[in-house]
Amino acid sequence: MYDVCVIGSGPGGYVCAIKAAQLGLKVACVEKYPVLGGTCLNVGCIPSKSLLSSSEFYHKVQTQANDYGIKTGALGLDFSKMTEKKSSVVTGFNQGISGLFKKNKVKEIHGTASFVSKDEISIDGKEKIKAKNFVIATGSKPTELPFLPFDEKKILSSTGALALTKVPKTLLVVGAGIIGVELGSVYSRLGTKVVFLEFLDRICPTLDTDSSKLLQKLLTKQGLTFHLGAKVTKGSASASGVSLDVEIKGKIEKFNAEHALVAVGRRPYTDDLNLKNAGVSVDEKGFITIDSGFKTTTPNIYAIGDTVDGPMLAHKAEEEGMAVAELLANKSPKIEYMAIPSVVYTDPEVAGVGLTEAAAKERSLSVKVGKFPFKANSRARAIGDDEGFVKIIADSASNQVLGMHIIGPHAGELIAEGVLAITKKLRADDIAHTSHAHPTLSEAIKEAALMVTSKALHI
């Protein structure tokens, strides 16, 4: 009998298991696949960031080395070595999590978990495990278009797109959301002609509108093509490629390519769990119903991460994993959902936290906006990477920071200052009166904060 049995070893599940064990509980973690780490480590965050980094390096040497006075010989691409590097990073972390389980005395069990009752699961229909509490952390799977099922050869999900063994000549990307622009960037940098078909009138719709517009402009400059307001209505695949019928402005157009990557969102994954046996309910979209303390409709069963409503992000799943472990150890954790950042790892990176300007308007909030361009930041100019801006949205009366949006070099690292400001309910003048080293990109944050409260110094 375990105190806690965590089902799923993604960033939500494995963090929950380790934290619960550190707090003195007897813990088991069950994972369906032979390796730990879930979507994020095996087919998500980590392999995509490895390929993004390698392809960016290649592209920059190819397109910019000359501007920096660097002479190169003929440049070549060894794609299989690039993918080997990606796989070795993943394998290293698989072993790392297993090591952390051993160190913290978490029992590692492999097999598919299915509820027998609210107190018991079976593993692969055989071995039974009893626990006082269960935490469901079984994550999500890519959403399939009914008329375009994944075959992972021609019609790819992100998993298939991360496993290609050859750089395609052409790629259609259905959905210009985060997965689309990240993986589209990877292949475009390696020489693929990438064409996006996006249903809405802008790319990455969860971003602040200014960031998403500039991102589209800069990616277009890099050679990616976007068709907005484009509805894919039909599709077929053959050995030679993919053909899609797409409705644009009321007319059907045909698009052909070697592969299509379908990246139209992800759905919660609870298929194998037999939730009914445990009395656990899901909503109409398949998300597990929970209360404010992550309890499902069955009080000894909790659910976290991509299985519950909210942004499908690894660090959100981790926060929830930590919180449930603490709740089970009779502590009182609190997650500041407004302060969960989101980063798009394109070039330039895009990061945001808190309210977008549009969301502030929708809530009829009176806000002030400070927006400072990297073109006026000395470090960005010195490194020759000066596209983008820092935008701060603050309450008009109190100057409290409500949102921060950054597009530009290292935006994903810089956003941590906005996360702290929102978590600690700081005002723009707190940031403006904080020393930022010179010359650094972070000075653009201080300047944007100065623009909220008075005037920037350098424009």
344 touches, from ligand FAD, ligand NAD, none (C-beta below 5 to 8 Å by class): ligand NAD
Show the binding pattern over residues 204-243: x = contacts ligand NAD (CB under 6 A), - = does not. -x-------------------------xx-----------
432 touches, from ligand NAD, ligand FAD, none (C-beta below 5 to 8 Å by class): none
Taking CB positions, which residue lies at the least distance from ligand FAD?
139
Q: How many residues bind ligand NAD (CB under 6 A)?
A: 27
377 binds ligand FAD (CB under 6 A): no
317 touches, from ligand FAD, ligand NAD, none (C-beta below 5 to 8 Å by class): ligand FAD
Rounded distance between C-alpha atoms, residue 192 and residue 167, angstroms: 7
**Residues of span 273-332 touching ligand FAD by CB under 6 A:** 273, 305-306, 312-315, 317
Rounded distance between C-alpha atoms, residue 143 and residue 286, angstroms: 12
Question: Contact region for ligand NAD (CB under 6 A) — 179-187, 321-329, 350-358, 398-406?
Answer: 179-187
184 touches, from ligand FAD, ligand NAD, none (C-beta below 5 to 8 Å by class): none
149 binds ligand NAD (CB under 6 A): no
Which of 5, 8, 2, 13 lies closest to 318 in space, CA to CA?
A: 13
Least distance CB 82 / ligand NAD (angstroms)? 19
Question: Contact region for ligand FAD (CB under 6 A) — 6-14, 65-73, 200-208, 220-228?
Answer: 6-14
Rounded distance between C-alpha atoms, residue 90 and residue 338, angstroms: 30
- For the chain, the maximum distance between any two Cα atoms, rounded to a whole number of angstroms, is 68
Rounded distance between C-alpha atoms, residue 64 and residue 369, angstroms: 34
Distances (CA, A) of 194 to 64, 420, 432: 21, 37, 42
Rounded distance between C-alpha atoms, residue 172 and residue 348, angstroms: 22
Closer residue to ligand NAD, CB minimum distance, 127 or 152 = 152
Question: Contact region for ligand NAD (CB under 6 A) — 130-138, 305-313, 440-448, 450-458?
Answer: 305-313
Which of 128, 94, 119 lies closest to 14 in space, CA to CA?
A: 94
* 103 Cβ neighbours under 8 A, 6+ residues apart: none
Which of 300, 295, 294 lies closest to 316 in space, CA to CA?
A: 294
Token pair of 329, please? Answer: 């150890």
Least distance CB 290 / ligand FAD (angstroms)? 13
Question: Contact region for ligand FAD (CB under 6 A) — 55-63, 81-89, 138-146, 184-192?
Answer: 138-146
Which of 341, 430, 436, 421 lies closest to 379 in space, CA to CA?
A: 436
Show the binding pattern over residues 168-197: x = contacts ligand FAD (CB under 6 A), - = does not. -----------x------------------
Is the backbone peptide bond immediately before 11 cis, with ω within 30 degrees of 0? no
Taking CB positions, which residue lies at the least distance from ligand NAD?
177
Question: Contact region for ligand NAD (CB under 6 A) — 115-123, 178-186, 218-226, 414-422?
Answer: 178-186
**Catalytic residue at 436?**
no
Rounded distance between C-alpha atoms, residue 335 and residue 324, angstroms: 11
Catalytic residue among 59, 227, 433, 438: 438
**Residues of span 357-386 touching ligand NAD by CB under 6 A:** none
In the Cβ-directed half-sphere of 416, how many Cα atoms lie within 13 Å?
7
The one among 27, 161, 288, 312 contacting ligand NAD by CB under 6 A:
312
140 binds ligand FAD (CB under 6 A): yes
257 touches, from ligand NAD, ligand FAD, none (C-beta below 5 to 8 Å by class): none
Rounded distance between C-alpha atoms, residue 176 and residue 191, angstroms: 19
The one among 199, 213, 237, 413 contacting ligand NAD by CB under 6 A:
199
Q: How many residues bind ligand FAD (CB under 6 A)?
A: 35
Rounded distance between C-alpha atoms, residue 416 and residue 118, angstroms: 40
Show the binding pattern over residues 109-148: x = contacts ligand NAD (CB under 6 A), - = does not. ------------------------------------x---
Catalytic amino acids? 438
Q: Which residues bind ligand NAD (CB under 6 A)?
A: 145, 174-180, 182, 197-200, 205, 231-232, 263-266, 311-313, 342-345
Q: Which residues bind ligand FAD (CB under 6 A)?
A: 7-13, 30-33, 38-40, 44-45, 48, 112-113, 137-140, 158, 179, 269, 272-273, 305-306, 312-315, 317
